[in-house]
Amino acid sequence: MTIRAYFVDGRPLRIAAFRRLWLASLVTAFGGSFSLIAVPAQLFTLAGSSALVGVSAAVSLGALVVSALGFGVLADAMDRRTLLLAGNAGLGLAYLGLWLNTVAGLDSVAFLLVLVAVQGLSFGATMTTMGAAVPRVVPAEQLVAASALSSLTRYSGAVVGPLLAGVLIPVAGLGSLYLFDALALIVVLWAVARLPEMPPAARKPGGGGLHRMLVAVLAVDLAAMVFALPYALLPELAERSFGGAPGGGAELGLLFAAYPAGVLLAGVVSGPLSRARRHGAIMASAAMAWGGCVVVLGLAPDLRTALVALGAGGAVNFVLSTVRNAISQAYTDDGLRGRIQGVLTVVLMGGPQLANVLHGFGGAALGARAAVAVGGVLTVVTVALVIRAVPELWLTGARPRSRSDC
Q: Is the pLDDT assigned to residue 405 strictly greater than 50? A: no
Q: Is the pLDDT assigned to residue 227 strictly greater than 80? A: yes
Three-class DSSP category at 194:
coil
Q: What is the pLDDT of residue 398?
A: 40
Q: Which of 393, 360, 183, 367 is nearest to 281 (CA)?
A: 393
- The Cα 162–Cα 156 span in angstroms is 10
For 297-317, what is each residue's pLDDT tens digit?
A: 999 999 999 999 999 999 999
Mean pLDDT of all residues in 248-263 = 85
Q: What is the pLDDT of residue 380?
A: 97
**pLDDT band with cut points at 50, 70 and 90 for residue 404:** very low
Q: What is the pLDDT of residue 397?
A: 60
pTM of the model: 0.81
Q: What is the pLDDT of residue 401?
A: 47
**pLDDT band with cut points at 50, 70 and 90 for residue 26:** confident
DSSP state of 270: -
Region of poorest pLDDT, from 173-177, 227-231, 239-243: 173-177
Q: Is the pLDDT assigned to residue 209 strictly greater than 60? A: no
Q: What is the pLDDT of residue 27?
A: 75
Type and span of the H or E element at 281: helix 279-299
Mean pLDDT of all residues in 262-273 = 90
Q: What is the CATH number of domain 208-405?
A: 1.20.1250.20
Q: What is the pLDDT of residue 46?
A: 81
- The Cα 369–Cα 371 span in angstroms is 6
Percent residues over pLDDT 90 in the chain: 37
Mean pLDDT of all residues in 144-165 = 80
Parse the chain into domains and list their residue ranges: 12-142+152-193, 208-405
Find out whether 43 and 155 touch, Cβ atoms under 8 Å: no
Q: Within 138-173, where are the H helices? A: 143-172
For 340-358, what is each residue's pLDDT tens digit?
A: 899 888 888 888 888 888 9
- The Cα 384–Cα 220 span in angstroms is 9
Q: Is the pLDDT assigned to residue 402 strictly greater than 50? A: no
Q: Which of 241, 252, 379 is nearest to 320 (CA)?
A: 379
- C-alpha distance from residue 398 to each of 278, 385, 389, 392, 394 (Å): 6, 22, 20, 11, 10
Q: Is the pLDDT assigned to residue 88 strictly greater than 50? A: yes
- The Cα 373–Cα 367 span in angstroms is 10
Identical fold, 12-142+152-193 and 208-405: yes
Q: What is the CATH number of domain 12-142+152-193?
A: 1.20.1250.20
